């Protein structure tokens, strides 16, 4: 009997259910989402509309939160009032008080709302259409050729009968990256966040991006989404669980919210090892697929603390047993006798006082109790985990709209690797969690300032310490695509430490200034400094890159790795 696809099954199941009104999801954008989360932290307690531990957010949930803070006292400065108006305009169809129309619409039909190039709305159909443009050019020190980006496309969202929401995004891009990003692509074979690419003018890359989803409510408390996109778990700049670093993938999601509890289930189909031609470019042939299941149970403890526990499994072959949304995956793996890759752990946030938040994550790949607590056990190859600790301070020293974020991340060698084909914690040859993979320590500092309503300043600084492999035949535990059962290092079971292999240190700072001309139309100016030292380099590798750009309805790219 022909195997029924997981996603076909889920789509048929979902669409057969009664639906309730809801909205599409807001694409995950760190700058945009920070504006939302800063007001929850200023309020000093968890919002009642949604849990922030799993992103992206639904537009109707976001609008409910904006309504709740409008008169809560957290909107105090001119910039905050501007931000509230900006977010409200972006989700205007769900706001309790609909924002005003544009004062000067174009040809009476275009930009009748500040956020929509064109929209149409009646009792049945609701549609919002926007152009997507990203034009940028910059100079890199000691590099003659201009670094450029040319992206253009379209974004469409809306709903049918106010019950089934949809979102689609399509762009085509030609770009020439700065040197360190180009080196990463040539080594991994994939553009971060995009995957497949073709050569553009020798040293550049061209790629087509497409994302979309359909979402609806099954019951009052159970929401469904089927789409092709990325997900992000946690409160940090990075995620040690699931991040947005890899390219979009096909998934189905159920979100069940009852009282203080929120259960999120994700079933996804991802791309395994990609086949390359003789020039390092992905071929046009069919790539092998792998399957991923994830569930996270989050709960609010009191008004200030949220804790989530998660479990995930990566499979090289689809298995019906992992469709159960509430079962313990580790038990299923034992019962089936399969070598599927199981990861589990937790994340948490604590708004311990108004304006401050502590957050963190712990992701466990493999753990042997006796080896962890033994004399040599803290450096056992079989004790593999990643952790994160972070702190957010909103309105630093009572300076309006000056926000600080400090974060520490680390992952032991061989975390996220697997000994069986296609089961590493990766998608299209890029890590599914942290950009560095494993075998690293990292400190991140972010300072955000909004001195006037339309001007946004962001400085991101980081220090990274990691161990790399001297060749493709050696595995010191950083590259998640390599086989963890074949280290080929001579270290053995014990004595494995973070930074083993070729030691690297990276110091990086990036300053970005963005000025919003109109709703979601930005002028950007960015300067980045990156310095890498390594045991196999005779002199430090230094990159300095300055870029100016115009961005319309598109997320600003940060390549901070």
Residue 557 lies inside a defined structural domain of this protein: no
Q: E strands, 259-396, where?
A: 261-271, 289-301, 305-315, 341-353, 356-366, 384-393
C-beta separation of 363 from 389 below 8 A: no
pLDDT along the chain (561 residues), means of 10: 43 45 88 95 91 95 93 91 95 90 84 93 93 96 90 96 94 94 88 85 90 94 95 96 94 94 94 66 73 93 94 84 71 62 92 96 85 68 93 96 98 90 87 95 98 97 95 91 84 89 96 96 97 92 95 91 87
Instruction: Identify which of 61, 49, 58 has the alpha carbon closest to the alpha carbon of residue 24.
Output: 58
Residue 515 CB partners (closer than 8 Å, separation 6+): 454, 455, 456, 522, 523
CA distance 59 to 65: 10
Are the beta carbons of 486 and 115 closer than 8 angstroms? Answer: no
The answer to whether residue 396 sits within a structural domain is yes
pLDDT attached to residue 336: 62
Question: Residue 12: its pLDDT value, please?
Answer: 42
State the Cα–Cα distance between residues 383 and 365, nearest whole angstrom: 8
What is the structure's pLDDT at 472? 87
Which tokens is 347 given?
A: 């994340």
Structure tokens, 119 = 């929209």
Asked, for residue 10, whether it belongs to a domain, the answer is yes
The domain containing residue 311 runs over which residues? 6-552
> What is the number of structural domains in the chain?
1
Q: What is the CATH number of the domain that holds 297?
A: 2.40.160.10
Q: How many CB atoms lie within 10 A of CB 435?
A: 18
Burial 54-83 (b: 16+ CB within 10 A, else e): bbbbbbbbbbbbbebbeeeebbeeebbebb
């Amino acid at each position: 009997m022909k195997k029924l696809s997981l996603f076909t099954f889920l789509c048929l199941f979902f669409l057969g259910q009664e639906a309730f009104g809801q909205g599409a999801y807001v694409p995950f954008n760190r700058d945009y989402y920070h504006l939302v989360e800063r007001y929850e932290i200023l309020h000093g307690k968890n919002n009642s509309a949604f849990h922030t531990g799993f992103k992206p957010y639904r537009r109707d949930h976001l609008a409910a939160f904006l309504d709740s803070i409008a008169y809560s006292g957290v909107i105090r400065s001119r910039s905050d009032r501007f931000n509230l108006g900006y977010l409200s305009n972006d989700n205007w169809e769900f706001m309790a008080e609909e924002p005003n129309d544009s004062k000067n619409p174009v040809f009476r039909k275009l930009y009748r709302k500040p956020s929509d190039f064109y929209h149409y709305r009646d009792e049945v159909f609701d549609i919002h259409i926007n152009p997507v443009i990203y034009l940028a050019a910059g100079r890199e020190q000691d590099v003659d050729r201009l670094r450029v980006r040319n992206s253009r496309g379209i974004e469409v969202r809306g709903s049918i009968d106010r019950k089934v929401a949809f979102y689609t995004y399509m762009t085509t891009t030609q770009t020439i990256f700065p040197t360190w990003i180009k080196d990463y692509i040539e080594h991994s074979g994939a553009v971060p966040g995009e995957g497949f690419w073709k050569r553009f003018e020798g040293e550049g890359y061209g790629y087509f991006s497409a994302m979309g989803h359909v979402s609806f409510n099954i019951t009052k408390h159970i929401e469904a989404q089927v789409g092709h996109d990325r997900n992000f778990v946690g409160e940090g700049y990075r995620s040690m669980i699931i991040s947005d670093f890899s390219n979009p993938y096909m998934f189905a999601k159920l979100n069940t919210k009852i009282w203080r509890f929120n259960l999120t289930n994700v079933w996804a189909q991802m791309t395994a090892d990609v086949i390359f031609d003789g020039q390092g470019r992905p071929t046009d042939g069919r790539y092998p697929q792998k399957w991923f299941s994830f569930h996270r149970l989050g709960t609010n403890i009191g008004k200030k603390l949220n804790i989530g526990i998660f479990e995930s499994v990566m499979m090289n072959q689809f298995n019906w047993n992992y469709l159960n949304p509430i079962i313990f995956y580790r038990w299923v793996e034992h019962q089936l006798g399969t070598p599927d890759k199981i990861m589990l752990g937790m994340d948490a946030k604590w708004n311990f006082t108004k304006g401050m938040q502590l957050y963190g994550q712990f992701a466990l790949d493999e753990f042997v109790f006796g080896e962890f607590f033994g004399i040599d056990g803290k450096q056992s190859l079989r004790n593999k985990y990643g952790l994160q600790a972070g702190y957010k301070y909103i309105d630093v020293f009572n300076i309006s709209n000056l926000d600080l974020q400090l974060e520490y991340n680390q992952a032991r060698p061989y975390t996220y690797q697997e000994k069986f084909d296609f089961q590493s914690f990766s998608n299209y040859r890029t890590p599914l969690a942290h950009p560095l993979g494993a075998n690293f320590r990292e400190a991140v500092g972010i300072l955000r300032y909004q001195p006037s309503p339309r001007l946004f300043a962001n400085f991101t600084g980081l220090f990274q310490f990691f161990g790399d492999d001297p060749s493709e035949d050696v595995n010191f535990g950083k590259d998640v695509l390599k086989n963890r059962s074949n280290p080929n290092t001579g270290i053995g079971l014990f004595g494995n430490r973070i930074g083993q292999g070729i030691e690297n240190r990276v110091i990086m700072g990036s300053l970005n200034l963005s000025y919003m001309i109109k709703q979601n139309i930005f002028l950007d100016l960015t300067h980045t400094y990156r310095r890498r030292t390594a045991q196999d380099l005779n002199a430090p590798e230094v990159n300095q890159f300055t870029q100016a750009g115009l961005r319309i309805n598109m997320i600003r790219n940060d390549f901070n790795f």
